[in-house]
Amino acid sequence: MTAPKATPDRAAADRGAPDEAAFLREAMLAEADAVRRAADRAAGEDAGRWSQAAGMVERCTGHVMVSGMGKSGLIGQKIAATLSSLGVPSHFTHPSEAMHGDLGRVRPGDVALLLSYSGGTEEVVNLAAILRTDGIARIGISCNHQTHLARLCDAHLAIGDVVEACPMNLAPTASTTAMLAMGDALALAVSRRRNFQADDFRRRHPGGALGAGLRGVTEVLRFRVGENLSTVREGVSVADALRTTGDGRRAGALLVVDDAGRLVGIFTDGDLRRRMNELGASLLARPVRDVMTARPTALPADALVRDAVQLVRERRLDEIPVVGHDGQPIGLIDVQDLVSMKVIDLGA
């Protein structure tokens, strides 16, 4: 019987996974090398140029208009989104559309960030020339400081010579990755200069896991002391402590306090089951201090939801007390509250 002719997919499989794994590694390392070279230049010979560019964006009283063609344009859209999320109003404008009316978006006080790896992309170069005539501040990113784009800009950042990850050195890969990293770095440098804080980020990014993680824990407390969460003194019996929980929806733990009302322990449903297996019915007569977890991990009132998530992941806690500056408990974060907020996945 004649052997079947190998299809391209079959032929690739016959070459073996190790060859492909090595290829994938080399492709990613090529992109990483382009970023490293750009980073070395930013911290070395081009440090002054980076400082100039960051200063221009920091002082911008309008918007940062980002523009680029093709793959550079796609990178530009991400850079504009990063700038906006970090407190620098920004939008992307296609260079061709700019020539057909979108230049009306540009106002005095704006800064243009123009992207072209070759530095000779006709649409981007023409846009830079028009913006220069109009007196709009311009920052360029291209391969080197001798490009046409570089000469038309007030500040210029060089990516450097790049060997693309594409075997034929054709498809923009390493160059666009380096361009993206440079845009992100510029945005982060400006946010650092402007002292952009977590609360600022939260106001601009209230949705999703990022926004939820920046909420204060006191905002999301479902169980609050004095409302639907009781505290018990450390000397009371387990039986009396359990009676304080009532018959309605309750927390999965008791918060134990000393005579001054400060948190000294926690007694969870899990503790109750384990102790009952050990001690049987005699558990109910024991004082809570004998069976509680003393000095439990707690969060301060000014902690963020992401701090609670970190504790759950690192210490596998199901209930986390929240205390005020005086050590008195305010409430209790339950792991299921974090699950319902979609900031943690217990199955992950």
Show pLDDT as tens, one digit a residue, over the chain (348 residues): 444 443 344 444 455 566 888 999 999 999 999 999 999 999 999 999 999 999 999 999 999 999 999 999 999 999 999 999 888 999 999 999 988 888 888 999 999 999 999 999 999 999 999 999 999 999 999 999 999 999 999 999 999 999 898 877 678 899 999 999 999 999 999 999 988 776 666 665 555 666 677 788 888 888 999 888 889 998 889 888 888 876 555 788 889 999 999 999 999 888 888 888 888 888 888 898 888 889 999 999 999 888 888 888 888 888 999 999 999 999 998 888 888 887 777 655
Question: Which residue stretches of the chain are H helix?
Answer: 8-14, 17-43, 47-58, 70-85, 95-98, 122-133, 148-151, 174-193, 198-204, 208-213, 238-243, 269-279, 288-291, 305-315, 335-340
How far apart, in whole angstroms, are the C-alpha atoms of residue 177 and residue 225?
51
The single-letter code of the amino acid at 257 is: V
Look at phi and psi of residue 162 and say left if phi exceeds 0, alpha if psi is from -120 to 50, else beta.
beta
For residues 235 and 287, the answer to whether their CB atoms sit within 8 Å is: yes
pTM confidence score: 0.64
Let me know if 73 is exposed, middle or buried by CB neighbors in 10 A (0-12, 13-18, 19+).
buried
Residue 73, helix vs strand vs coil: helix
Crossing angle of helices 174-193 and 17-43, rounded to 10°: 40
Rounded-to-integer distance, Cα 25 and Cα 235, Å: 62
In the chain, CATH 3.10.580.10 sits at 213-340
Residue ranges of the chain assigned to CATH 3.40.50.10490: 16-196
CATH number of 213-340, picked from 3.40.50.300, 3.40.50.1360, 3.10.580.10, 3.80.30.20 = 3.10.580.10
How far is the C-alpha of 50 from the C-alpha of 155, rounded, in Å?
Answer: 8
Vertex 61: Cα angle to 144 and 50 (nearest 5) = 25
Q: In angstroms, how far is the first alpha carbon of the chain from the final one?
A: 50
Write the CA distances from 256 to 209, 217, 323, 332, integer angstroms.
32, 20, 12, 12
Which CATH architecture group holds 16-196? Answer: 3-Layer(aba) Sandwich (3.40)
Count Cβ atoms below 10 Å from residue 264 Cβ, excluding itself: 21
Q: Which of 191, 151, 179 is nearest to 60 (CA)?
A: 191
